[in-house]
Homo-oligomer: A and B are copies of this chain.
């Protein structure tokens, strides 16, 4: 396999290149009976759409989601859900200059070494546009998880040296700022930094944090399919991610066990009446969820 599938029960396969005919996702294993419409996917595609603001690549793509299968009378049937979006700006000519160039920091060279051939138009399959298929799968996954009260919230923690103020962050704002930062003031400074980078023909890294709430205790498998191992796999598979942290992450290596451990305490508001006083572990122990909030960070170059 060429590595375009992910997941066990809920398995997605994505396809499509930056300047090919279409990008898409096939979801195999979504349970029957979930209400699903193209609009559910569209909301998420719109959120990832570049060119909305000065922060991202200024390319115009309609990115209209079309569901090809797996939904009947507005609900899923348990059969595979195929979703596509057609590329509307296939201006291959724009990229002819890149045909014989290996861009530093990109996958041009490694793809050429692996396949002996590559779609040089905008990076082809290695383009950031590859995430369109992930967003489609993620939109369906998020809808399914919400049926079980599980909420996934991701936001930008920092861009270059501009960090959000965690004491005063407003989660609603993450969907409104052009940077995805839940802090309009930090977002404004980050946009200025990005604008300066653009002028300098440079780019800048950043960190995304993700919180998953409502996860019951007992999810995940031991040993090689630990919940944190699967999440790290998924995060690191996103282009440009070079580090992943769970809970307190890299801080744990410098600390004592007495600082890293979370004491259990009784709390009848939890299903099992047990929770932890702190959450250094990020909601996962031994690869299995504890019922606490799952916390992870991905570092992008």
Contact = CB atoms under 8 A, between A and B. Distances in A.
A202 B256 contact: yes
A197 B258 CA distance: 10
Contacts of A257: 105, 197, 202-205, 301
A114 B290 CA distance: 10
A78 interface: yes
Contacts of A141: none
Contact of A20 (B68, B111, B247, B299): B68
B203 A3 contact: no
A164 interface: no
B237 A225 contact: yes
* Residue among A68, A77, A219, A243 with most chain B CB within 10 A: A243
Contacts of A264: 102, 104, 109
Interface stretch (A123-131, A145-153, A175-183): A123-131
Contact of A236 (B24, B229, B280, B290): B229
Interface in A267-301: 272, 274, 276, 280-282, 284-291, 299-301
A287 B115 CA distance: 13
B115 A78 contact: yes
A249 interface: yes
A45 B13 CA distance: 23
A249 to B, nearest CB: 4
A226 B240 CA distance: 11
26 contacts: A1-B28, A2-B78, A4-B223, A13-B80, A14-B224, A20-B69, A22-B68, A26-B26, A77-B115, A78-B114, A104-B261, A110-B217, A110-B287, A110-B289, A110-B290, A113-B218, A205-B252, A230-B233, A232-B233, A242-B250, A243-B245, A243-B246, A244-B244, A245-B250, A248-B301, A280-B301
Interface of A: 1-6, 8-9, 11, 13-17, 20-24, 26, 28-30, 32-33, 66-70, 72, 75, 77-82, 84, 102, 104-107, 109-111, 113-119, 121, 124-126, 130, 158, 160-161, 197, 200, 202-207, 216-226, 228-237, 239, 242-250, 252-258, 260-264, 272, 274, 276, 280-282, 284-291, 299-301
Given A24-B82, A205-B252, 10 more contacts: A79-B119, A84-B84, A104-B263, A107-B288, A113-B216, A114-B218, A114-B288, A242-B282, A253-B299, A257-B301
In the A-B complex, list the 10 residue pairs whose CB atoms are closest, starting with the nearest: A107-B286, A3-B221, A3-B225, A203-B257, A105-B261, A110-B288, A113-B218, A233-B233, A252-B301, A229-B237
